[in-house]
Amino acid sequence: MIPNIYTDDDLIEFMWHELQAVAAAVDLNRDCLTEAVNDVLLDYGVTTLADAVDIKKVRAIARYYAWLAALKQVSADYQFSESGVSYARQQALDGLEKMVARVKREAGSYLSGYVIGVGDVVHTEDPYKRYTVVDL
């Protein structure tokens, strides 16, 4: 059941559920998502989740920041050595980058950095040049 409003704990639970399949593999825990809730509030433009009444918007933004948190977790130590053994997590990093890009597209206009550009179209050639006007 989708809630009418989220609390901080509810939103963290939603984000945790979103990441459940990769959380263990990237050493992510619920505490890593606390700051992501603040990012959701900032992009939504409110100071508390009680004021965030567009649930679809909250979920889209939260999904983006959840996956971004997972990406940050892997980015911090995706290639390291420990006890004489080298570890590389490039495949996980690549997969998370793709997922972040996907959920960013889905969150689209809800994110604060979203911009639509408008410009002029300049034709270097007349597209109708090859047609001739025929008198009827």
Whether residue 34 lies inside any domain: the answer is yes
Neighbours of 61 (CB within 10 A): 25
Q: What is the pLDDT of residue 87?
A: 67
Whether residue 128 lies inside any domain: the answer is no
Whether residue 52 lies inside any domain: the answer is yes
Q: What is the pLDDT of residue 39?
A: 95
How far is the C-alpha of 69 from the C-alpha of 88, rounded, in Å?
Answer: 19
Cβ 104 vs Cβ 111: under 8 Å: yes
Cβ 61 vs Cβ 111: under 8 Å: yes
Domain with 38, as residue range(s), is: 8-109
Whether residue 56 lies inside any domain: the answer is yes
pTM above 0.85, yes or no: no
Whether residue 94 lies inside any domain: the answer is yes
Whether residue 133 lies inside any domain: the answer is no
Helix 90-107 crosses helix 55-76 at what angle (to 10 degrees)? Answer: 160
pLDDT tens by residue, 82-109: 787 776 667 778 889 999 999 999 998 8
| Tokens read off for 64 | 């983006």
Query: For the chain, what is the domain count?
Result: 1
Whether residue 18 lies inside any domain: the answer is yes
pLDDT tens by residue, 45-75: 999 999 999 999 999 999 999 999 999 888 7
Exposed, middle or buried, 71 (CB in 10 Å: 0-12/13-18/19+)?
A: buried
